[in-house]
Amino acid sequence: MAHTPVLSFTDHGIYCAAGDFYIDPWRPVARALITHGHADHARWGHGSYLATHQALPVIQHRLGEIACQGISYGEVLRIGTAEVSFHPAGHVPGSAQIKVVVEGEIWVASGDYKIEDDGLSDPFEPQKCHHFITESTFGLPVFRWRPQDAVADDLNNWWRKCAGEGKTAFLGAYSLGKAQRLLRMLDPGIGPILTHGAVEATNAVLRGQGIDLPTTVQLTKDTDPKANKGALVLAPPSALGSAWAKRFGPGESAFASGWMQLRGVRRRRAGDRGFVISDHADWPGLLSAIRETGAENIYVTHGYTDVFSRYLTENGWRAEVVPTEFGGEDAEGEAS
Ligand SMILES: [Zn+2]
Ligand SMILES: [Zn+2]
């Protein structure tokens, strides 16, 4: 008789038969284990939600009244005949890799992850396992991130130059994770930091759980541009270039994303500047994460799945592409 895999890929999501639960399901299910609060992973309509204590506030903010349970990193919970634990994924605050152990066989569904410590999220902790489910959002060799400090210097130099020329600096970033990471990289000595409502709503949730962020002022229709000379405005990319931005007079806009590494994208999307920074692992990061798991079986989801799984196969892993409905960095959007 064929042995039932610990995790399998179904039309509702990643399923564990031993515990009768799903991980980040994309269709409504009775019991969902959620890696993190981005919209493509934490969806509406499940009977119950299990996520880390640090991820729950954002999930509840987004989804409203839900039946949910919190778990600490490293805590082991028995569900059916499966042992389940959550481990830091370093992606956004509260994000987790979910480890599932059944009769000694270890699977890890890593959700979204990055290797570099961003100073905001609990840093990525590799988990030994037999089967590893990995994203490949940036699974091409061209994607190599510079250290966060170097990007922070570029960002602050750009803002300082804008302020010096009497221009407002408009910075586009997704509201959960990226925006707060950028806030902690900015030098508040340069000028006031104004935020779009979607960014500020997420800031409020994260501050409420004890995460320290610099002072920000939410932009409203009453905000006086003259009283905010040299300001930086942090907003979702979709809000850049809209009517309210024009009230601020001369300005420059920039967009912060891993996609800025691609020249064509930079030209189309970046406005005046592009800063290459991502909450997903780059090519070396993906490979080092996979090596550290010691896993022989790799399941590749979102992004450059074909290229990445072919590379793994050619280098000695058993790799396959699995169908999921997760988005990439563009799906991580707008908090509501
Ligand atoms: Zn994500
Ligand atoms: Zn994702």
User: In the chain, what are the domain boundaries?
Assistant: 8-142+280-321, 148-275
Res 336: pLDDT: 30
Which residues, at least 6 apart from 87, have a Cβ–Cβ distance to it below 8 Å?
Answer: 73, 74, 96, 97, 98, 99, 108, 125, 127
Q: Quick one: tokens of 8?
A: 């399998």
Task: Give the closest ligand to the alpha carbon of residue 26.
Answer: 2
Task: Give the closest ligand to the alpha carbon of residue 114.
Answer: 1
Among 106, 165, 107, 97, which Cα is nearest to 135's? 97
Task: Give the closest ligand to the alpha carbon of residue 325.
Answer: 2
Which residues, at least 6 apart from 186, have a Cβ–Cβ distance to it below 8 Å?
Answer: 152, 155, 156, 159, 193, 214, 232
Distance CA(101)–CA(96), nearest Å, equals: 16
Res 2: pLDDT: 56
194 alpha carbon to ligand 2 midpoint, in Å? 28
pTM over cut 0.85: yes
Residue showing tokens 């778990």? 71
Res 330: pLDDT: 62
The CATH classification number of 8-142+280-321 equals 3.60.15.10
* Cβ–Cβ under 8 Å, residues 147 and 137: no
22 alpha carbon to ligand 2 midpoint, in Å? 16
Q: Per residue of the chain (336 residues), what is the pLDDT tens digit?
A: 457 899 999 999 999 999 999 999 999 999 999 999 999 999 999 999 999 999 999 999 999 999 999 999 999 999 999 999 999 999 999 999 999 999 999 999 999 999 999 999 999 999 999 999 999 999 999 999 999 999 999 999 999 999 999 999 999 988 889 999 999 999 999 999 999 999 999 999 999 999 999 999 999 888 888 888 899 999 988 887 666 677 777 889 998 989 888 876 666 665 678 899 999 999 999 999 999 999 999 999 988 999 999 999 999 999 999 988 887 666 565 333
Res 100: pLDDT: 98
Res 267: pLDDT: 62
103 alpha carbon to ligand 1 midpoint, in Å? 30
Task: Give the closest ligand to the alpha carbon of residue 279.
Answer: 1
Distance CA(52)–CA(71), nearest Å, equals: 5
Task: Give the closest ligand to the alpha carbon of residue 176.
Answer: 1
Q: Quick one: tokens of 311?
A: 């590379």
328 alpha carbon to ligand 2 midpoint, in Å? 5
Res 334: pLDDT: 39
Distance CA(175)–CA(196), nearest Å, equals: 9
Specify whether domain 148-275 bears CATH 3.40.50.10710.
yes
Distance CA(29)–CA(82), nearest Å, equals: 18
